[in-house]
Amino acid sequence: MSASASANVPAPAASASAAAPIETAIPDEAASAAPTPALPTGEPELSRFHGALRELGRGGRKAHVRILWLGDSHGQADFWTGAMRDVLQKRFGKAGPGFVHVGWKQYRHDGVRLSTEDKWTIRPKVPAASSRTGDGVFGLGGLVTTGPAGSGRARVNVTDEGLASRLSWDVCYRLRSADDEFEVSLGSGPKTKIRTTATEPPGELRHLLLVSEGRETLQVTPTRGNPELCGVVIETDPAERPGVVLDTLGINGARFGTPLAWDEASFGAELARRKPSLVVLEYGTNEAGDVAVDPVKYTQRLVRLVERIRRFAPDTDCLALAPTDRADTRARTPLVRDAIREGARQAGCSFWDTYAVMGGEGSIRAWAAESPARAAGDGVHLTQRGYRDLGEALATHVLRGLPP
């Protein structure tokens, strides 16, 4: 889905046709291996996240409460995630859009207008792949972008009128050779030229921090070689007022194996930089179409992913979501749901049964028959209204137990 697409257009298709080669690329423990032990938390599933929100609500917190949403096309569209962000920010403070891709046309984000000039490309070519591509270094969002030197420009314009305070712009980039170079600017401000130096040799993920007084437009222009952009994080200044940020990291066609295929150290460093209080795992719709894969593997992969996340963000809570209903996988979707629920139990994560909330088997067709429809005609995706309804319901779930 492009940034300029109508809000009622469904998210990109969840390409189940590539399921077999993608799924078999991920090694799993043998079926006879001992069960993975539960990860100890010593406290209720969302207690640390709730504690951060309570502290924020009573004015005792000096940092933003951050949520990272890893998932598939349902999350990439930023309707489901956007609705949840809206509810939490209205109650606890609007702290910005969070992570935003730069130069990726198949992407949208609430409160932000994205545009490019000339042809930008992404790496890896198949961002949803569950097997390692190259060195696996793709930043926080699982892909990097680059445009042609001289003619390629990418812009990120904050359009949310509720963001009038100072904004920080944390630009992630990678220069893979000494020939790579780009310019970056905010609004009518000066251009900053980024190139390799003796103290910053090529190859590492780097960050450039910029500040604007209120809403502004970030412009990035490659000037030489093939510099790579791995996104920008846009937040308000927590010194003025901390609030809630929700990073949308959904990728069309992604599965649990997708983030497991990324380079652990580089992704972990980006994760640690964000310091999330909650990580949401929204997978399963594509797995429901992978009929040759035993659903127990999804239990194992969820646990492995949570173990990896907690190595770099040990204080984060986690929330696993069941898949949405899908018209062509009526018998298999509940099996995938049960596997994810078991993985959440073993990993010490909260679990939200999206499938049951929708109404169970056949609900996606029922949602599509409504007027206005809450599901798309493809039997896989929802409309903006359907995603917004799920987002509001999920926000109610994660706020359960907090004082009004």
Tokens 């994810």, located at residue: 340
What's the rounded Cα separation, in Å, for the pair 155 and 94? 22
The pLDDT of 194-214, averaged and rounded, is: 90
Is residue 71's pLDDT more than 50? yes
Answer positive or negative: Cα dihedral of 396, 397, 399, 400: positive
Q: List the structure tokens of 330.
A: 């009526």
> What is the pLDDT confidence band of residue 25, given thresholds at 50, 70 and 90?
very low
Q: List the structure tokens of 310.
A: 């907690």
Q: What is the Cα 364 distance to its own chain's centre?
A: 23
Contacts 24+ apart (CB under 8 A), 383-390: 383/8, 383/10, 384/7, 384/8, 384/79, 387/74, 387/77, 387/79, 387/80, 387/82, 387/83, 388/79, 388/80, 388/82, 388/83, 389/83, 390/80, 390/83, 390/324, 390/354, 390/357, 390/358
The pLDDT of 314-337, averaged and rounded, is: 97
Is residue 378's pLDDT more than 70? yes
Task: Pick the more confident residue, 317 or 13.
Answer: 317
Task: Pick the more confident residue, 21 or 359.
Answer: 359
Q: What is the pLDDT of residue 403?
A: 83
The pLDDT of 112-141, averaged and rounded, is: 96
Phi, psi (deg, nearest 5) at residue 386: -65, -45
Is residue 17's pLDDT more than 80? no
What's the rounded Cα separation, in Å, for the pair 182 and 147? 10
Count of Cβ atoms closer than 10 Å to residue 71 Cβ? 24
Q: List the structure tokens of 364.
A: 């996606």
Is residue 197's pLDDT more than 90? no
For residue range 279-292, list pLDDT tens digits in order. Answer: 999 999 999 999 99
For residue range 222-277, list pLDDT tens digits in order. Answer: 999 999 999 999 999 999 999 999 999 999 999 999 999 999 999 999 999 999 99
Q: What is the pLDDT of residue 59?
A: 94
Ordered strands of the 181-186 beta sheet: 112-117, 153-158, 217-224, 181-186, 192-195
Alpha carbon separation from 301 to 28, 293, 320, 347 (Å, rounded): 8, 12, 12, 11
What's the rounded Cα separation, in Å, for the pair 145 and 107? 12
Q: List 186's β-bridge partners, or say none.
A: 218
CA angle centred on 94, ends 93 and 96, rounded to 5°? 145
Instruction: Calculate Rg over the CA atoms of the chain.
Output: 20
- pTM to 2 decimal places: 0.89
The secondary structure element, H or E, covering residue 338 is helix 333-347
What DSSP assignment string belongs to 271-314? HHHH--SEEEEE--TTGGG-TTS-THHHHHHHHHHHHHHHHH-T
Count of Cβ atoms closer than 10 Å to residue 361 Cβ? 16
Q: What is the pLDDT of residue 43?
A: 39
> What is the pLDDT confidence band of residue 404, given thresholds at 50, 70 and 90?
confident
For residue range 48-58, list pLDDT tens digits in order. Answer: 999 999 999 99
What's the rounded Cα separation, in Å, for the pair 380 and 250? 16
Q: What is the pLDDT of residue 5?
A: 31
Is residue 36's pLDDT more than 90? no
Q: What is the pLDDT of residue 27?
A: 39
Q: What is the pLDDT of residue 164?
A: 85
Q: What is the pLDDT of residue 84?
A: 98
The percentage of the chain sitting over the pLDDT mark of 70, rounded to a whole number, equals 89
Is residue 14's pLDDT more than 90? no
For residue range 143-183, list pLDDT tens digits in order. Answer: 999 999 999 999 999 999 999 889 999 999 999 999 999 99
Encode burial over 226-236: b for 16+ CB neighbours within 10 A, e otherwise. bbbbbbbbbbb
Task: Spell out the residues 6+ positions from residue 340 whose beta carbon is closer than 8 angstroms to its own.
Answer: 283, 284, 298, 299, 302, 320, 321, 322, 323, 351
One-letter amino acid at 103 equals G
The average confidence (pLDDT) of the chain is: 89
What's the rounded Cα separation, in Å, for the pair 320 and 349? 7
Q: What is the Cα 241 distance to its own chain's centre?
A: 24
Q: What is the Cα 239 distance to its own chain's centre?
A: 26
Q: What is the pLDDT of residue 147?
A: 97
What's the rounded Cα separation, in Å, for the pair 168 and 96? 9
> What is the pLDDT confidence band of residue 194, given thresholds at 50, 70 and 90?
very high
For residue range 76-105, list pLDDT tens digits in order. Answer: 999 999 999 999 999 999 999 999 999 998
Is residue 278's pLDDT more than 90? yes
Q: What is the pLDDT of residue 29?
A: 37
